[in-house]
Structure 1
Amino acid sequence: MHDFEPSAHLDSFPRDHLPPFEQWPPMNLQCLPEIANYPRRMNCARELLDKQAAIYGDKPVIYYGDEVWSWNRLLETANRIAHVLVDDLGVVPGNRVLLRAPNNPMYVACWFAVMKVGAVAVATMPLYRWRELTYMTDKAEIKVALCDWRLREEMETTLKESQFLERSLYFYSPEGQSLESLMAGKPAQFETCDTAWDDVCLIAFTSGTTGPAKGCMHFHRDVMMICDTFNRYVLKPGPDDIFTGSPPLAFTFGLGALVAFPMHGGSATLLVEQYTPDTMLRSIEKYGVTILFTAPTAYRAMTGLLAKGGYDIGSLRQCVSAGETLPLPVWQGWADATGIKIIDGLGSTEMLHIFITSKGDGIRPGATGKPIPGYEACILDDEGKPVPDGTVGRLAVRGPTGVRYLDNPERQAAYSAYGWNLTGDSYLRDADGFYWYQARTDDMIISAGYNISGPEVEAVLLLHPDVSECAVVAAPDAERGHIVKAFVVLRDKDKAGPAMAKALQDFVKAEIAPYKYPRAVEFLDVLPRTQTGKVQRFVLRQKGGEG
């Protein structure tokens, strides 16, 4: 039985809907001295905002267009919103609050307000539609929402369709009663709720690449643990650093990268609602950004732009890639263009953030890296037994964080098994302990008895000068069981056709074992992606004839 600290929650829903403790993976709370010394009463808003604002005061913490928010301004705004949540919306500790906005300062202030009142934040992607929002509000039994005015249309439909949602309060609103109008008369001080370190503070719904989104329940201590592992031991930011990046704050990758990590380091963050490769480069130059988080696709596009000149990104010193595998050609191209070795990170919503990575001289190009301090990993076979180095198997990880699904015993059992968290990735570990990504477990293609890694074929196709993007999946085949099928986006769409398909097939045969070449090539204008930027391979498998 888990030794729970007495909860501050008046609404017991979060604890009542955690998986039974025997279904949790092991979590090592003694893995690092910082974590071993955590107090059992902990609120991540007190740690990241209240205590840091007392130190940094009027120093900038958020840049947003022409706005500069100081630590004090963020604290006072969060405090006023907290009063609105309690006084006007009747929120009590343990209630869930839906948050909905692009990456902007009011979103951050709302998130901290939810933490400060001891409630549970359920952040949602701006692109989600009412069906997805209704599923989440009903799954997490959410009664109130704080929403950016520009996203009100889907929110209003959700209010009509949801069994539970009763009220949505809008900010950045030009009319009527708004969050800002209610905040105006509130005190700038608020007593942060004295939550337990194992009180749930956020339910993060996965991006739903396979089936309905799954709610991942994380504690106040978990938010601090990602700061005291990846941020403290890998990034090591300081008060002079400025972060920016493209991941949505509603995504745990973005929450860590653009809120928790910079604030933990006393740094600042630049929030941009919608980045393009060009505006990202120009923003790095304009604001003197030092730490960048984005996806491989953006690094590849920015590398092309840098070759044309006209950008000064000399302030940049660290770059992190996550969300999907980082192909070696993308890593090498960025290193050649900037001198910066991208830190490749593997993380998951279930684990909250990155758990395998490498940086600087510890990078082995093409490998994801090694477990970060606080985490351990191994490769298991289908029976849950460790396999020898050099053998492809299922990646298993554990550390201070771990999976706890909201009311999903089937998925909980699949992810937490054999005393580990099973991430759904196929990896191999080499003799030096580096972990090499092979595929998602369901992206390993078995063709005529050969195991073929889709991402390996993708990495080769990306070396071809005519290829802009690509994704490789299994397509059913009567003779071979499955064949390798490549979906390709060309730089010049007019070149698409049988001659180009054959040229790409020959190119792959010349670069890697010929049996891995794509026996089918289909040209697309764009690849289907989730709202977090991941390629939806299941959509491509369906296009390839595999339902």
Structure 2
Amino acid sequence: MEPTLSPSAYTDTFARDRLPPAEEWPELRFTLPELHRTGTLNCAGELLDGGVGRYGADRPCVRGEHDGVRHAWTFGGLRARVDRIARLLSGPLGVRPGNRVLLRGPNSPWLAACWLAVLKAGGVVVTVLPVLRTEELEAILRSARVSHALCDARFADELEEAADRAAPHLEERTGITLYGDGGPQDPAVLAERAAEEGEPPFEAVPTAADDVALIAYTSGTTGRPKGCVHFHRDVTAIADTFSAHVLKPRPDDLFAGSPPFAFTFGLGGLLIFPMRAGAETLLLEKAGPERLARAVHEERVSVLFTAPTAYRALLSEASGAEPPDLSSLRRCVSAGEHLPEAVWHAWHEATGLKLIDGIGATEMLHIFISASDDDIRPGSTGRPVPGFTAEVLGEDGRPAPDGVPGRLAVRGPVGCRYLADDRQRRYVRDGWNITGDTYVRDAEGYFWYRSRSDDIIVSAGYNIAAIEVEEVLMRSPLVREAAVVGVPDPDRGQVVKAVVVPAEGTPSDPATAEALKAFVKERIAPYKTPRLVEFTAALPRTETGKLQRFKLRENG
């Protein structure tokens, strides 16, 4: 059980006051010496000031684009800009330690600077996707009682409207400061001036290691998003577990990828991990497959973070008339959804690289099961990352025998703490984080994904894992993407329905549907064959790329 929390440095105790009661916390385990972080710890100070101390102020740190303008900053250059924004926050803008500060904008060097500045000034950072609409933004402003916001000037309108609508439910209207508009009060303008003229360093607020650093909202694959609370020590913990022991970055690496900072897969992979390792990160405002391929080719990216669907699309780019040069890549990480074994093999054949698959969760901040190099078993997610333990639990809540599917449960140095949300009791049980995924563990300790726990289809008494049927469909040359769900049926309880994005040039007609049914029936048990096949131009996904199966079920 979680020990008593350290004395907080916050004068605004809202976030700590709304943590779950102690009996609903997961059991936290600090099994590696570097995870024992107590006392004072400001993770932004650790990453930035500590990075300057470890690697030198002149080491390249972040480069990228903001509204068409290129930036390239060293650790020292980034610190000068961060310190100026932190001074602005804690001074004229009136951010008190513990205030929640919302960030809105695409990935860019300025978003990175704002993220670090909020934490250095003692704020609690709440990063949101720039595509969220007014109602979604209003819900987050109210849920986190956001007092201040730093917003890319190009994405201000809906946030302004959301702040007006949320104001009656807050102590006062959220104060919004725009960056990138070029005005005299633009934090980016002020920070650039400070970097040129020089200012005294800003001393990071001495937050406790277990003070709240960030509130990350889930991406909504199952409906209403939840606010996941993470501490300053959690930020360093994910770098000192998955990154240090599985990814193993080098100071000469250049990171890039597609996930936004609002998606903690992107926050870790594109900011926390490279800074912790003294490496450089390339931040792209738009990071579709074509842009990613071009970035790897032109900028010699060596570490790539993106989702399985993007790797599949990158393979298409690589087989085009003018294929990009991907030879600079040495580490490629896939997460966000299950990595099909066919994609793993295709990527390995095309590049010679072994994709690092992993499962993480917003509730856990980052990846907790993975494998790299010779430890990889294609099709398997991997084994628990050093610092974590995992089990497959049966219906009785006890560990299931190897080879028997059950609910994935995990413990480690981080864990689920929802912000004032009664769903905490569903995610945490008996000290375990219950992820909502069905897995099988083999005799070697490798974990094999079967489905989301709510993706098991029960048809005429048979349990059918949606992912198994999807894996078969994805092998067909007629299929670009596929998702499988169960839909109600009066005779069988449920039947298997496949929603298919056909390959280019493939007709969406009954003949194709019958061909796909036959393709599946030839490869797995007939009772798993889809009885219904629907064609669509695109599968419903969140902005972070996760499949929204609940929408497919809603559509029947």
TM-score, normalization by structure 1: 0.97
Asked if the contact 1:77/1:188 (under 8 Å) is kept, the reply is no
Asked if the contact 2:80/2:191 (under 8 Å) is kept, the reply is no
Summarize deviations over 1:197-243 as a string: whole Å, max 9, x none: 00000000101122211000000000000010001101111210010
Question: Amino acid of the residue matched to residue 172 of structure 1?
Answer: G
Aligned counterparts of 2:323 and 2:379: Cα–Cα separation in 1: 29
Q: Name the structure 2 match of 1:488.
A: 500
- Paired residue total: 541
SS at match of 2:156: helix
Structure 1 window deviating more from structure 2 (340-349 vs 279-288): it is 279-288
2:209 aligns with one of 197, 210, 235:
197
Summarize deviations over 1:487-527 as a string: whole Å, max 9, x none: 00112366111000000000011111121111100000111
2:129 aligns with one of 96, 113, 125:
125
Aligned counterparts of 1:52 and 1:388: Cα–Cα separation in 2: 45
Asked if the contact 2:141/2:163 (under 8 Å) is kept, the reply is no
Question: Amino acid of the residue matched to residue 369 of structure 1?
Answer: G
Summarize deviations over 1:238-281 as a string: whole Å, max 9, x none: 21001000000111111100000000000000111112212211
Structure 2 alignment gaps of length 5 or more: none
Asked if the contact 2:81/2:192 (under 8 Å) is kept, the reply is no
1:361 aligns with one of 351, 355, 374:
374
Cα distance, 1:34 vs. partner? 1.1
Question: Amino acid of the residue matched to residue 46 of structure 2?
Answer: E
Cα distance, 1:140 vs. partner? 0.8
Structure 1 window deviating more from structure 2 (93-102 vs 506-515): it is 506-515
SS at match of 1:162: helix
For the pair 1:326 / 2:328, whether they are aligned, the reply is no
Asked if the contact 1:493/1:525 (under 8 Å) is kept, the reply is no
Question: Amino acid of the residue matched to residue 311 of structure 1?
Answer: P
Asked if the contact 2:382/2:448 (under 8 Å) is kept, the reply is yes
Aligned counterparts of 1:530 and 1:381: Cα–Cα separation in 2: 30
SS at match of 1:464: coil
SS at match of 1:495: coil
Summarize deviations over 1:99-142 as a string: whole Å, max 9, x none: 01100011000000111011100000111111111101111111
Summarize deviations over 1:324-357 as a string: whole Å, max 9, x none: 0001111111011001110001000001100000
For the pair 1:170 / 2:178, whether they are aligned, the reply is yes
Cα distance, 1:167 vs. partner? 1.2
SS at match of 1:405: coil
Cα distance, 1:418 vs. partner? 2.0
Instruction: Rate the CA distance shift 1:486–1:188 in 2: closer, same or farther, 3 A.
Output: farther
For the pair 1:95 / 2:96, whether they are aligned, the reply is no
Q: Name the structure 2 match of 1:58.
A: 58
Question: Amino acid of the residue matched to residue 43 of structure 1?
Answer: N
Instruction: Rate the CA distance shift 1:497–1:116 in 2: closer, same or farther, 3 A.
Output: same
Cα distance, 1:534 vs. partner? 0.7
Summarize deviations over 1:436-483 as a string: whole Å, max 9, x none: 101001111111111111111111111111211111100111111101
Cα distance, 1:188 vs. partner? 5.0
Q: Name the structure 2 match of 1:397.
A: 410
What does 1:300-315 correspond to in 2, within 5 Å?
Answer: 300-308=312-320, 310-315=323-328
Aligned counterparts of 1:470 and 1:377: Cα–Cα separation in 2: 29
Q: Name the structure 2 match of 1:448.
A: 460
For the pair 1:49 / 2:48, whether they are aligned, the reply is yes
SS at match of 1:82: helix
SS at match of 1:451: strand
Q: Name the structure 1 match of 2:488.
A: 476
For the pair 1:504 / 2:512, whether they are aligned, the reply is no
Aligned counterparts of 1:183 and 1:284: Cα–Cα separation in 2: 29
Cα distance, 1:365 vs. partner? 0.8
Cα distance, 1:185 vs. partner? 7.0
Q: Name the structure 2 match of 1:18.
A: 19
Asked if the contact 1:53/1:71 (under 8 Å) is kept, the reply is yes
Q: Name the structure 2 match of 1:67.
A: 71
1:412 aligns with one of 410, 421, 424:
424
Aligned counterparts of 1:502 and 1:352: Cα–Cα separation in 2: 42
Q: Name the structure 1 match of 2:258.
A: 246
What does 1:61-460 correspond to in 2, within 5 Å?
Answer: 61-65=61-65, 66-163=70-167, 164=170, 165-175=173-183, 177-181=185-189, 183=191, 187-308=199-320, 310-409=323-422, 411-460=423-472
Asked if the contact 2:498/2:534 (under 8 Å) is kept, the reply is yes
Aligned counterparts of 1:181 and 1:505: Cα–Cα separation in 2: 59
Question: Amino acid of the residue matched to residue 45 of structure 1?
Answer: A
Structure 1 window deviating more from structure 2 (361-370 vs 303-312): it is 303-312
Cα distance, 1:14 vs. partner? 1.5
Cα distance, 1:189 vs. partner? 1.8
Structure 1 window deviating more from structure 2 (175-184 vs 204-213): it is 175-184
Aligned counterparts of 1:195 and 1:398: Cα–Cα separation in 2: 25
Percent identity (aligned) = 51
Aligned counterparts of 1:129 and 1:535: Cα–Cα separation in 2: 19
Instruction: Rate the CA distance shift 1:318–1:497 in 2: closer, same or farther, 3 A.
Output: same
Structure 1 alignment gaps of length 5 or more: none
Aligned counterparts of 1:366 and 1:316: Cα–Cα separation in 2: 21
Aligned counterparts of 1:528 and 1:57: Cα–Cα separation in 2: 44
Question: Amino acid of the residue matched to residue 32 of structure 1?
Answer: L
Question: Amino acid of the residue matched to residue 159 of structure 2?
Answer: M
Q: Name the structure 2 match of 1:35.
A: 35
SS at match of 2:522: helix
Asked if the contact 1:56/1:266 (under 8 Å) is kept, the reply is no
Asked if the contact 2:302/2:330 (under 8 Å) is kept, the reply is yes
Asked if the contact 1:488/1:523 (under 8 Å) is kept, the reply is yes
Aligned counterparts of 1:63 and 1:442: Cα–Cα separation in 2: 41
